C-alpha cells in the first residue's frame, strides 16, 4: 500500500457567519492570513505531504496570488477553484489528485489554522491503518436534543465533536465523491461512512474552526501564549 500523503485544504467558502469585508480565510491572524497559517502547518517537513492542494473561490485567485507574493510564500501547492458547497470544493480538489495511484489524503478546513502537528500526524497514520479517520473531541458542555415537546438531555459521553483533518485512503475518498451530493453531508466522514467505517482520532480543543468573530480573538490568544 502506498505511503504517499496528500492534502486538500478547502478554503472555497465566503464566510457569511464571520460577516467580514472579505472571506475569513484571508483575515489576518497574528500577522498572517488565516489560510497561510494552515498551509504552513501542512507543509511541515516532518509530515512528508507530497502534494498540497488549496481550494479557493475562483474570484479570489488573485487575492491569494498577492498574499503569496507579499508574504514570500515558497511552499509548493496547486490552486483549484471551489464549488457552491464544501462537498463540491472537496470534489474539485480531489480531481487534482486523479492521476495518483494510491496513498492517504487529508481533507482539512483552510480555516483551522491551529491544528497541532501531532493531530495531523495521528490522523494520517490512522487513515493509513483504517482507511478512514477523523479527528474529534469530547463535548465540554452538556448537550440537549430538540423534540416536539421541547428538549431532552443527551449522554455527552456518547457524542463527539468532529474536526478536521479527516484522512482517507485516496481510492476510497475518490469513490465516495463519485456518489451524488446529499444535503445531510457536513464533512467528509458523512460522505464516506456508507462505504467504510470511520475511525475516530483524539483531536484537540485548540483546533478551532474560525467561524465567527470571537474565534479569531481566541485563536490570536492561543497563538500568543
Ligand X SMILES: C[C@](O)(CO)[C@H](O)COP(=O)(O)O
| Residues forming the site for ligand CTP (CB under 6 A) | 10-17, 25, 55, 82-86, 89, 109-111, 209, 211
Is the Cβ of residue 169 or residue 187 nearer to ligand X in the bound state? 187
Is the Cβ of residue 69 or residue 84 nearer to ligand CTP in the bound state? 84
- Measured from each CB, the residue nearest to ligand X is 187
Residues that bind ligand X (CB under 6 A): 86, 109, 162-164, 186-187, 209, 211
- Contacting residues for 54 by C-beta, under 8 A, at least 6 apart: 9, 11, 35, 39, 64, 77, 78, 79, 80, 110
Is the Cβ of residue 36 or residue 111 nearer to ligand X in the bound state? 111
User: Closest separation between CB of residue 112 and ligand X, Å?
Assistant: 7
User: Closest separation between CB of residue 39 and ligand CTP, Å?
Assistant: 12
Helix (H) or strand (E) holding 64: helix 61-70
User: Closest separation between CB of residue 10 and ligand CTP, Å?
Assistant: 3
User: Closest separation between CB of residue 171 and ligand X, Å?
Assistant: 21
Is the Cβ of residue 33 or residue 165 nearer to ligand X in the bound state? 165
User: Closest separation between CB of residue 129 and ligand CTP, Å?
Assistant: 26
Is the Cβ of residue 2 or residue 185 nearer to ligand X in the bound state? 185
Instruction: Give which of ligand CTP, ligand X, none residue 164 binds (C-beta under 5 to 8 Å, depending on kind).
Output: ligand X
User: Closest separation between CB of residue 163 and ligand X, Å?
Assistant: 6
- Other CB atoms within a 10 A radius of the CB of residue 166 amount to 29
Contact 83, 12 (CB under 8 A): yes
- Other CB atoms within a 10 A radius of the CB of residue 164 amount to 27
- Among all chains, which residue has been given the C-alpha cell 474529534? 136
Q: ∠ at Cα 107 (33, 165), nearest 5°?
A: 80
Instruction: Give which of ligand CTP, ligand X, none residue 50 binds (C-beta under 5 to 8 Å, depending on kind).
Output: none
Helix (H) or strand (E) holding 117: helix 117-130
Helix (H) or strand (E) holding 107: strand 104-109
Is the Cβ of residue 50 or residue 211 nearer to ligand X in the bound state? 211
DSSP 31-44: TEEHHHHHHHHHT-
Instruction: Give which of ligand CTP, ligand X, none residue 10 binds (C-beta under 5 to 8 Å, depending on kind).
Output: ligand CTP
In the three-class reduction of DSSP (H, G, I as helix; E, B as strand; rest coil), residue 2 is classed as coil
Amino acid at each position: 500500500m502506498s505511503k504517499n500523503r496528500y492534502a486538500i485544504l478547502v478554503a472555497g467558502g465566503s464566510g457569511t457567519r464571520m460577516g467580514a469585508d472579505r472571506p475569513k480565510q484571508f483575515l489576518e491572524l497574528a500577522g498572517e492570513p488565516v489560510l497561510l497559517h494552515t498551509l504552513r502547518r501542512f507543509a511541515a517537513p516532518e509530515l512528508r505531504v507530497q502534494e498540497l492542494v488549496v481550494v479557493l473561490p475562483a474570484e479570489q485567485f488573485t487575492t491569494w496570488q498577492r498574499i503569496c507574493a507579499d508574504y514570500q510564500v515558497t511552499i509548493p501547492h496547486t490552486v483549484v477553484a471551489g464549488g457552491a458547497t464544501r462537498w463540491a470544493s472537496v470534489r474539485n480538489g480531489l480531481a487534482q489528485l486523479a492521476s495518483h495511484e494510491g496513498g492517504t489524503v487529508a481533507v482539512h478546513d483552510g480555516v483551522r489554522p491551529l491544528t497541532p502537528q501531532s493531530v495531523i500526524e495521528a490522523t494520517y497514520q490512522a487513515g493509513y491503518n483504517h482507511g478512514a479517520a477523523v479527528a474529534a473531541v469530547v463535548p465540554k458542555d452538556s448537550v440537549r436534543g430538540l423534540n416536539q415537546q421541547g428538549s431532552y438531555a443527551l449522554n455527552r459521553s456518547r457524542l463527539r465533536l468532529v474536526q478536521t483533518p479527516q484522512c482517507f485512503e485516496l481510492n476510497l475518498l475518490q469513490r465516495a465523491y463519485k456518489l451524488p451530493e446529499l444535503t445531510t453531508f457536513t464533512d467528509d466522514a458523512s460522505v464516506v461512512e456508507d462505504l467504510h467505517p470511520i475511525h475516530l482520532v483524539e483531536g484537540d480543543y485548540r483546533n478551532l474552526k474560525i467561524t465567527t468573530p470571537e474565534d479569531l480573538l481566541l485563536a490570536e490568544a492561543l497563538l500568543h501564549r
